[in-house]
Amino acid sequence: AKLKSFTAKIIQLLKEWTETFPYDFQDEKSMKELKEIAQRITQCDEENGTVKKIISQMTQNLLMALSARSQYQEIREKFRQPVTDKGTILKTKPQSTQKDILSVCCDALILAQQLTYIELERVSNIYPEDLMQIVSHMDSLDNHKCRGDVTKTYNLEAYDNWFNCLSMLVATEICRVVKKKQRTRMVEFFIDVARECFNIGNFNSMMAII
């Protein structure tokens, strides 16, 4: 009876650990240790196999989480280009093919909603371990600056980069317009977008636009 009670607590611990901090198990050594512990636990309940099913499901969820985050990182890396490359592409395009944002989407509410979808996608990939990693690497002797290996999980960096990209997009769209009337219209449009972001509760995009 004591053994079963202890097993239940260990399972709960492992389940919460793998769900909250899956990156702790991304290397082979930690994954091997997890499997060894799981194997020892399942031996305590060989009769009905309930523990084995729970452990199997837990391991499957962990592998799916690690795979999803690995794919997210790969996709993000593909879209990371130097600023010089983007500038070169913009210069080589004929003026007639360069569309401003109003020609793509002239509805402030729709643009605000699309920005919110992007925000939610970025936020959903930030886990407690991303924050814990920054705290654990904080160097109080260096003005609380984080060390270079903090970007191991990349998700906070991606969220920060998105904020900067949105700010640059707004500035670019306004500055590239030559006529004052059109520029005024562009500024007013982004003010409306920022207001719609505020109404939705998307304060990050609102601040990036401002």
Domain with CATH 1.10.840.10 in the chain: 101-138+150-209
Give the C-alpha separation, 132 to 182, whole Å.
46
Give the C-alpha separation, 68 to 77, whole Å.
14
DSSP 3-30: HHHHHHHHHHHHHHHHHH-GGGG-SHHH
Output the pLDDT for position 158: 79
Output the pLDDT for position 38: 85
Output the pLDDT for position 92: 61
Task: Write b or e for each residue in 55-76: b if 16 or more Cβ atoms lie within 10 A of its Cβ, otherwise e.
Answer: beebbeebeebbeebeebeeeb
**Mean pLDDT by groups of 10 residues along the chain of 210 residues:** 79 88 84 87 71 86 83 66 54 63 89 94 80 66 49 71 92 90 93 96 95
Write the CATH number of the domain with boundaries 101-138+150-209: 1.10.840.10
